[in-house]
Chains A and B, each alone.
Chain A
Amino acid sequence: MTVKKLSGAEIVVEELKNEGVKVAFGIPGGALLDLYEVLYNETMIKHILMRHEQCAAHAADGYARVSGQTGVCIATSGPGATNLVTGLATANIDSSPIVALTGQVPTSAIGTNAFQEASTFTITMPITKHNFLVMRTEDLPRVIHNAFYIASTGRKGVVLIDLPKDVQANRVDVELHPGDTPPGYKPNIIPNKVQTKKAAETLANAERPVILAGGGVISSGATDELRNLAETLGAGVVTTLMGKGAIPETHPLSLGMAGMHGHIYANRALNECDALLALGTRFSDRLTGWQLDQFAPDATIIHVDVDAAEINKNIPVDIPIVGDVKLAISDILKWLEKECIRDNSVWQKRLKEMHAACEECICDVWRAGSSTSDILIKELSNILDSNAIVTTEVGQCQMFAAHYYMTREPRTFITSGGLGTMGFGFPAAIGAKVAAPDKKVVDIAGDGSFLMTCQDLATCVENDIQVVVCIFDNRYLGMVRQWQELFFDKRYSQTHLGITPDFVKLGEAFGCYAERVEKPEDLKSALNNAFESGKPAVLDMIVGKEDKVLPMIPPGGGITNMIGTERCKHV
């Protein structure tokens, strides 16, 4: 290693390149002038100028979720950093790897309420996996290396580096690319063999095995292993919202998403199983419902998670396995080679019936034409290739998408699961398209969500990032309206959004292709027009004002107390 005299900003850029960073999403500012000065001539890192810092974080998040690489976002001190906060919290709760760089006032001014000063370090502490306030330029190589190491290993997450102006400007002699890692950080990757053996024995002897796949299956790249395991065992596979894409939802053993807005049969499978293998999931309340004793009541529960703190947090577990999901499944498969797997043909038959019933139910919706929203999603599912990437906003549009969109490949269904951030889908789509320029990227949006981050249409047009925003336009904050309808006597307090804006004109004003879709049958040609236009596009899809996402677990209910199941086939 050679010692070089470099400015802090030069060190940052050198280290980013060393970590393999190709793209950064950001907005400059007074406290970042030094860094942007270095980025000005940089050819290895493409910087995409966003129009709001929240979008920079979501774009980095979308990039990370699609590519599996750590996303990078940049914001200036004070308001720049506080604008990032929502995006960082969104990524961190969904274990998406991001490194955020923020400008800070000079070290001598910290604590004086200087212009554009906010204590980014303390503000972001609870919403990041780790964060750094760098007070000495000499520390930059180590800090940046550690930031990427922490963000991308173990349970992935967000790491923020706060960079005071003078730390960027100072020139010092440094050794680049240090290899050392933090002494207190040793993620538990290797699963315990005794535990995986126990898991294999339990699964081999189960009469009614079910696998619950969470986001961890996708982030550890274990989708092939999962499929192999499910087929070996003849186990039904249900997913969480974050787990959509862990198994093709067209697979005969797949029962789709479980939980509050899940498929009734996915929930039923959880209720009926006698062995449950939960992989990379944190048993969120949106999965389990509120009556935890009703969750998989007859099952021996095996829980695999890379974060030991998730084991026994929400659901008591019989066989805990701390480690990487991919390694754990591989170990279980190895043990299973030595086991005699019990004949479970009765359960196989039941799973087939349930899978068929779910499919038929979706087809029924299609035929009945009762709610335009779910028909539109089903139509999208038919039109888009299996490798197309769908991002979602939050609320009804998200749950319609989660329920009816058939996800066939991992990293193609990108949604804010934990934080439920409105305005996430569109900027995440920008990041997705940058990560996968050859794939079609569609944001399934609500009219409420889209208005929260729509200014970044400018970013799309300027940088030729072709994403298609499909707005489910019901002029309501639909999910809240649905709850008001069902549980608050139709008192629609502050959920009606009026008639503005005209989304077609809005899209056109930014230079996008835009079209209004009045009827679901017009979606196909509109989408074609959008993709053919070669431009970012806004499709304003008019949907039923009072469409509801059903079935659902009502507040306080358990996983078997779904309402709105009338149109579901009963098997």
Chain B
Amino acid sequence: MQTRVISLLVEDNPGVLTRMSGMFTMRGINISSLTVSPCEKEGLSRMTVAIKGSESELEKVRKQLSNLIEVLKVVDLDVHESIIRDLCLMKVHTRNTEARTEVMQLAESYNAKIVHASFDSIILELTAEPERIDRFVELMKHFGLKQLFRTGITAIGIDY
């Protein structure tokens, strides 16, 4: 089961998200990540959907999405030909100076930003490919992860 990334251009109407996610529910497909945002065109939004599935499942999803009246464009993004980013905010427990130093050093090596620090914790921000964030999260678990927030991926095709 491979992760597939689909980029959609949709009309910015109330209910369009329900309609889109409802289509996945109806066809028994689980969405692993979904982001919605305004785009360069007035009245339209861009959605980035990540699903896990086979090539044929992806094909079916693509066609069903194209059938939705409010969907203007459906693009399967080739993960090797796209820039894919996820943003993560996390609160890491730093019980002593030693832990704090270590967390700060690791954050630096991952290009994660320290956005807030308190006596016993640090809030970090990292924007990167999802796999890189996964690795950083695993590292931080070692110190004690109090809270973790991820936006889900957004993606842009290099040639599209």
A residues with CB within 8 A of B: 121-122, 125-126, 129-130, 133, 135, 150, 182-185, 307-309, 311-313
Contact = CB atoms under 8 A, between A and B. Distances in A.
A309 B63 CA distance: 5
B15 A122 contact: yes
A121 B15 contact: yes
Interface of B: 10-11, 14-15, 18-19, 22, 26, 56, 59-60, 63-64, 66-73
Nearest to A182: B69
Contact of B70 (A126, A184, A312): A184
Contacts of B70: 182, 184
Contacts of B68: 184
A305 B63 CA distance: 13
A184 B11 contact: yes
Nearest to B44: A183
14 contacts: A125-B19, A126-B22, A126-B26, A133-B14, A133-B15, A135-B14, A183-B72, A184-B71, A308-B63, A309-B60, A309-B63, A312-B56, A312-B59, A313-B60
Contacts of B18: 122, 125
A308 B60 contact: no
B35 to A, nearest CB: 19
A77 B56 CA distance: 41
A184 B22 contact: no
A564 B119 CA distance: 81
Given A125-B18, A125-B19, A309 B69 contact: no
B59 A184 contact: no
Contacts of B22: 125-126
B72 A184 contact: yes
A213 to B, nearest CB: 23
B69 A125 contact: no
Contacts of A126: 22, 26
A121 B69 CA distance: 15
B36 to A, nearest CB: 16
A135 B14 CA distance: 10
Contacts of A309: 60, 63-64, 66-67
Nearest to A184: B72
Given A121-B15, A125-B18, A150-B69, A184 B10 contact: yes
B81 to A, nearest CB: 24
**The 7 residue pairs across chains A and B that have the minimum distance between CB atoms:** A309-B63, A184-B72, A130-B69, A185-B69, A308-B63, A184-B71, A309-B64
A188 to B, nearest CB: 10
Nearest to A316: B56
Contacts of A183: 11, 72
A126 B20 CA distance: 10
Contacts of A133: 14-15
Contacts of B19: 125
B39 to A, nearest CB: 14
B59, B66, B68, B69: which has the most chain A beta carbons within 10 Å?
B69
A229 to B, nearest CB: 27
B31 to A, nearest CB: 16
Given A184-B72, A309-B66, 11 more contacts: A122-B18, A125-B19, A129-B69, A133-B14, A133-B15, A182-B70, A184-B10, A308-B63, A308-B67, A309-B60, A309-B63
Contacts of B11: 182-184
B45 to A, nearest CB: 12
B131 to A, nearest CB: 32
Contacts of B64: 309
Given A184-B10, A309-B60, A312-B59, A125 B72 contact: no
Contacts of A121: 15
A311 B60 CA distance: 9
A296 B68 CA distance: 32
A314 to B, nearest CB: 11
Contacts of A182: 11, 69-70
